[in-house]
Amino acid sequence: MSTTATDAVVHHDPTVRGFASDNYAGVHPEILAAIALANGGHQVAYGEDQYTEHLQTVFKRHFGERAEAYPVFNGTGANVVALQSLLPRWGAVVAAESAHINVDECGAPEKIAGIKIHTVPTPDGKLTPALIDQQAWGWGDEHRAQPLAVSITQSTELGTLYTVDEVKAICDHAHEHGMLVHMDGSRLANAAASLGRPFREFTTDAGVDVLSFGGTKNGLLFGEVVVVLNPEKVRNIKYLRKMSMQLASKMRFVSVQFEALLTGDLWLRNAGHANAMAQRLEAAVRDIDGVTLVRPVQANAVFAILPREVSERLQKRYRFYFWDEHTGEVRWMASFDTSEADIDAFAAAIAEEMGRTA
């Protein structure tokens, strides 16, 4: 029996919201409209289409005239491609112990790119020049993977932000040691919205060499972009992208999403709203007896500790994850489509479940 579009069935309740990840959110209607706009006729494959060509202008406007944009499928792919472009086979990258490249990418940097990660424990997910120096040593020692790059995340996995001056200090320190700097920006829009600064100010102008720019967490269907900010030091991206299985044949459908996101203020509206919803949640639960907020809310993440049995009951009503199984710390994420009503209902559920424990 043939199937048509009208035979499609909705398999979920579109009114349900969770707080596990901004990846759970759907696609912004303006992004869906942009994909449809690009769908007519034929365009040259593998990035030689007019949408990807125009995307270069869009990224240059945000990151400077030397910026080069290379769309890829996902964030892990972006990080793997970007890091490979910085390092020889014997190279290593210094990163926070909590970094996504270390914790959440199933060993892809090591297994796919062959990159050693020198990790540093951090209290807030942020590196500093002094913390970098814990692993930035051993140059010329053939027994040690050479620390030739630093990777920082903006905003971090712990929801914290680097200021412009902090990024610049890291880049200056790394470059003084002959190291290059990668920024994992899967939530870069949330950082920019919170800091109230343009992208370029805490990336290109601060000295970042290559950037993984995220879109999926900010309303896109799929896609991230490797942004080369220092073409003299970052090379061979187009070959590394293909080798890493990140070269999209119908690239126009990735590129047009970023065009829609970045040409106007959609990126800022989406990220600013998600941040505001996280702030609303933090304010709503701050005074609930038994809930301890453990980290500053600087982007779209809220971290809290509450009795484990309460968290487990709440998980039956709303999806979210334990961040630290030992301490009972949980993470609640707000998204571009999280509403005030969603936040208020979740906060009420937290208060209700805490009341059952008292």
State the average pLDDT for the chain: 96
What is the reported pLDDT for 261? 98
What is the reported pLDDT for 7? 83
Alpha-carbon distance of 13 to 160, in angstroms, equals 32
Alpha-carbon distance of 172 to 39, in angstroms, equals 44
Judge contact between 218 and 71, C-beta under 8 A.
no
* 13 and 60 belong to one structural domain: no
Q: In the block, which residue shows the tokens 């610049």?
A: 168
* 188 and 293 belong to one structural domain: no
What is the reported pLDDT for 8? 85
Q: Domains in the chain: how many in total? A: 2
Q: What CATH number is attached to the domain comprising 74?
A: 3.40.640.10
3-state DSSP assignment of residue 168:
helix
* 253 and 300 belong to one structural domain: no
* 96 and 122 belong to one structural domain: yes
Paired with 149 in beta bridges are 93, 180
3-state DSSP assignment of residue 188:
helix
Instruction: Decide which of 232, 263, 294 is a domain's last residue.
Output: 263
* 304 and 202 belong to one structural domain: no
Domain extent for 65: 29-263
* 196 and 273 belong to one structural domain: no
Q: What CATH number is attached to the domain comprising 316?
A: 3.90.1150.10
* 166 and 276 belong to one structural domain: no
Q: Which tens digit of pLDDT belongs to each residue from 193-247?
A: 999 999 999 999 999 999 999 999 999 999 999 999 999 999 899 999 999 999 9
- What percentage of the chain reaches a pLDDT higher than 90? 95
* 272 and 159 belong to one structural domain: no
Q: Residue 1: pLDDT above 50?
A: no
Paired with 211 in beta bridges are 183, 227
Least confident of 7-21, 54-68, 174-188, 195-209: 7-21
Alpha-carbon distance of 158 to 181, in angstroms, equals 20
What is the reported pLDDT for 5? 58
What is the reported pLDDT for 4? 61
* 103 and 222 belong to one structural domain: yes
* 135 and 273 belong to one structural domain: no
* 20 and 42 belong to one structural domain: no
What is the reported pLDDT for 73? 98
Q: Which tens digit of pLDDT belongs to each residue from 39-64?
A: 999 999 999 999 999 999 999 999 99
The CB density around residue 265, as the number of other CB atoms within 10 Å, is 10
Contacts of 262 (CB under 8 A, 6+ apart): 58, 59, 62
Q: Looking at residues 289-299, what average pLDDT do you find?
A: 96
What is the reported pLDDT for 358? 57
Instruction: Decide which of 263, 279, 303 is a domain's last residue.
Output: 263
Q: Which two tokens stand for residue 99?
A: 């970094």
Give 243: exposed, middle or buried? Use CB within 10 Å, 0-12, 13-18, 19+.
middle
* 40 and 135 belong to one structural domain: yes
Going by the DSSP 8-state scheme, the letter that residue 104 receives in this structure is: S
Residue 246 Cα distances to 76, 95, 242, 295, angstroms? 10, 23, 6, 35
The CB density around residue 283, as the number of other CB atoms within 10 Å, is 12
Instruction: Decide which of 220, 238, 263 is a domain's last residue.
Output: 263
Q: Which two tokens stand for residue 129?
A: 């020049």
Whether pTM > 0.85 for this model: the answer is yes
